[in-house]
Amino acid sequence: MMDIFIEKIVKRRKDIKDHLITAAVISGALLLMFIALNIEILAGVSMFIVVGIGYGAYYFITSRNTEYEYAVTNGDLDIDKIIAQRKRKRVFSANCKDFEIVARLKSQHYTPQYRNFKNKMDFTGYIGNDDVYFVVLHYNNQPTILFFEPSEKMLNNFKTFIPRKVFTD
């Protein structure tokens, strides 16, 4: 049998919190730059300090750019978080045979029982999208619900391993 490998990258949409953090960082950086330029003792190095503050602000603001990469290999789902296209971290890994259910979030399968789970993992671009699916599984010894945006090929791959647990309606 040939190995099946499917991947998809989803860019997380910025919310109001991200915009407020960006505004606060810019305001703070401008204030620090103004102070650095107006302190006489720092006159010789103030431009270096201003450039450093500017770079720090840029680095912090761009670190709010997040993407998730889903990789499905023969029923194994791995999710990596990519921050500002410069840092990658594995945030989830499981085999689909451990899934209780895979279904569209906006369906009758998303019951109050699942809504009340305490352990939720959101790896979507935006939780309100129509193509968001949820997975229920036991992860780190507790019931967990995972939200993600799989491609049709990924869902079909899961169906080959767990046909009675994947609902695409």
Element (H, E) at 133: strand 133-139
Q: What is the pLDDT along the chain (169 residues), one digit of tens a residue?
A: 567 889 999 999 999 999 999 999 999 999 999 998 888 887 788 889 999 999 999 999 999 999 999 999 988 999 999 999 999 999 999 999 999 999 999 999 999 999 999 999 999 999 888 899 999 999 988 999 999 999 999 999 999 999 999 998 7
**What pLDDT is recorded for position 1?**
54
Q: Exposed (0-12), middle (13-18) or buried (19+): which is 102, by Cβ within 10 Å?
A: buried
Tokens representing 168? 């695409």
Q: How far apart are CA 157 and CA 147, in angstroms?
A: 18
Q: How far apart are CA 32 and CA 42, in angstroms?
A: 13
**What pLDDT is recorded for position 2?**
66
pTM metric for this prediction: 0.84
Instruction: Report the greatest alpha carbon distance in the chain.
Output: 73
**What pLDDT is recorded for position 59?**
95
Terminal C-alpha separation, the chain: 29
**What pLDDT is recorded for position 165?**
94
In contact, 8 and 149? CB cutoff 8 Å: yes
CA 168 vs. chain centroid, Å, equals 22
**What pLDDT is recorded for position 37?**
87
